[in-house]
Structure 1
Amino acid sequence: MRLVVARCSVDYTGRLTAHLPLAPRLLILKADGSVLVHSDGGSYKPLNWMSPPATLRTTERSAAEAEADPEGAWIQQWDVTHTKTGDTLRVRIHELIEESAHELGEDPGLQKDGVEAHLQALLAEHIHTLGEGWSLVRREYGTAIGPVDILARDAKGRAVAVEIKRRGEIDGVEQLTRYLELLNRDPLLAPVRGIFAAQIIKPQARVLAQDRGIECVTLDYDALRGMDDAESRLF
């Protein structure tokens, strides 16, 4: 990664046109070919950028050449061109304040809090969230086509298969449907009903689930962790 602090102007041309007038900014060039232009404000979002795949062409000028140019006394110009769309980000550097390069290596990736394994463990621990008198049969209940996240029994002792997603989409409903078809062939479990549980459930997924007789439950991660009491909220 290359970090450059410079007084520069920036122009984007292509599917849209945008201009940043001359000012001190932070320029970030990443190994994947992306270039980001940041100011000291505006939170995390760059003022402008070029996403990969892209190529960088650099033009340098002497101080005398820069002073003689009526279009602007820039000493270095970057032309960053997207290899698929042809869009171009042009950065003209008038003053190079600081520059450094760093080898960051391979990143292990973001480990999100509230992923499906965490949600599964919390819901299994607090199975009463789904109803009073409920009991846990097993997490990761094995079937011939894969494990069901949670197998439980309701207050009347009926079997319930629970599929858990952080973001509930149509694929998750289809997955639970396949589990239910298989589980309902087991005379010791049938009839088995399904619950599709997620922190966020897409409207299309909710409609499909309801059409197939599957109940949808929205999970409150903070409430499951005991960090939020829904009953004490004002709204």
Structure 2
Amino acid sequence: MRLVIARCQVDYAGRLTAHLPMANRLLLVKADGSVSVHSDDRAYKPLNWMTPPCWLIEEPGYWTVQNKAGEKLVITLEEILHDSKHELGAEPGLVKDGVEAHLQELLAEHITTLGEGYTLVRREYPTAIGPVDILCKDATGRSVAVEIKRRGDIDGVEQLTRYLELLNRDPLLSPVAGVFAAQLIRPQAKVLAEDRGIRCVTLDYDTLRGIESDEFRLF
């Protein structure tokens, strides 16, 4: 991973355009080729980013990050304050809470818990920033990303928001709706989710666990 702290301006040109005026920011260049721009707030959420496959072209005072679709992230560097590279090694992956993992398995098996006509696309749908718990389609055929928690907090809503922003950049999936599913969803998290157009679903673990599977069994 490469960490660059710089006073910079950022311009994104693609299906939409975005501009970040000159300021001090952290630029992350990861081994997978992705480039993301961070400020000193907003927790882990980047201000803008480009996911792989993409390539970085460095010129004096300029970075240009471009993907196969022709989208560009142009970073104008006024001053570089820090530039370092670090080898992080292999990532062992997130170890999920046992209940969360079982909730994901049960909900995927009985996806119509989310609504009539829902169909499963895949569990642990891969993205450049981590796997989405469940990707499914609703009765209209629209893609839906589902984030599952045992207790639903604001952090979980923020996590799902990041996934949605990334998935909605994919023309094969867009538009992608979001569902935040948990055994208990805190009021603040529900308000934030609904404000962002994310539907909240409260899961009953015992009820899901008691539903008989419609898969063929040997015994």
Q: TM-score scaled by structure 1? A: 0.48
The offset of 1:115, in angstroms, is 1.2
Q: Report the Cα distance in structure 2 between the residues aligned to 1:177 and 1:225, rounded to whole angstroms.
A: 28
Q: Report the 3-state secondary structure (helix = DSSP H, G, I; strand = E; otherwise coil) of the residue aligned with 2:156.
A: helix
Q: Report the Cα distance in structure 2 between the residues aligned to 1:164 and 1:133, rounded to whole angstroms.
A: 20
Residue identity opposite 1:160 in structure 2: V
Residue identity opposite 1:208 in structure 2: L
Partner of 1:167: 151
Partner of 1:191: 175
Partner of 1:117: 101
Q: Report the 3-state secondary structure (helix = DSSP H, G, I; strand = E; otherwise coil) of the residue aligned with 1:171.
A: helix
Q: What does 1:1-235 correspond to in 2, within 5 Å?
A: 115-226=99-210
Gaps spanning 5+ residues in structure 1: where?
Answer: 1-112, 229-235
Residue identity opposite 1:226 in structure 2: G
- Residues 114 and 221, structure 1, Cα contact 8 Å, conserved in 2: no
- Residues 151 and 160, structure 1, Cα contact 8 Å, conserved in 2: yes
The offset of 1:172, in angstroms, is 0.1
- Residues 199 and 220, structure 1, Cα contact 8 Å, conserved in 2: yes
The offset of 1:202, in angstroms, is 0.4
Q: Report the 3-state secondary structure (helix = DSSP H, G, I; strand = E; otherwise coil) of the residue aligned with 2:210.
A: coil
Q: Report the Cα distance in structure 1 between the residues aligned to 2:104 and 2:160, rounded to whole angstroms.
A: 15
CA RMSD of aligned residues (A): 1.8
Residue identity opposite 2:137 in structure 1: R
- Residues 114 and 166, structure 1, Cα contact 8 Å, conserved in 2: no
The offset of 1:114, in angstroms, is 6.2
Q: Report the Cα distance in structure 1 between the residues aligned to 2:114 and 2:211, rounded to whole angstroms.
A: 18
Q: Which of structure 1's runs of 4+ aligned residues deviate more than 3 A? A: none
Residue identity opposite 1:214 in structure 2: I
Q: Report the Cα distance in structure 2 between the residues aligned to 1:159 and 1:144, rounded to whole angstroms.
A: 18
The higher radius of gyration belongs to: 1
Residue identity opposite 2:116 in structure 1: E
- Residues 169 and 201, structure 1, Cα contact 8 Å, conserved in 2: yes
The offset of 1:180, in angstroms, is 0.1
Shift in CA distance, 227/159, structure 1 to aligned 2, threshold 3 Å: closer
Gaps spanning 5+ residues in structure 2: where?
Answer: 1-96, 213-219
Q: TM-score scaled by structure 2? A: 0.52
Q: Report the Cα distance in structure 2 between the residues aligned to 1:163 and 1:211, rounded to whole angstroms.
A: 16
Between the two proteins, the alignment pairs up a number of residues equal to 117
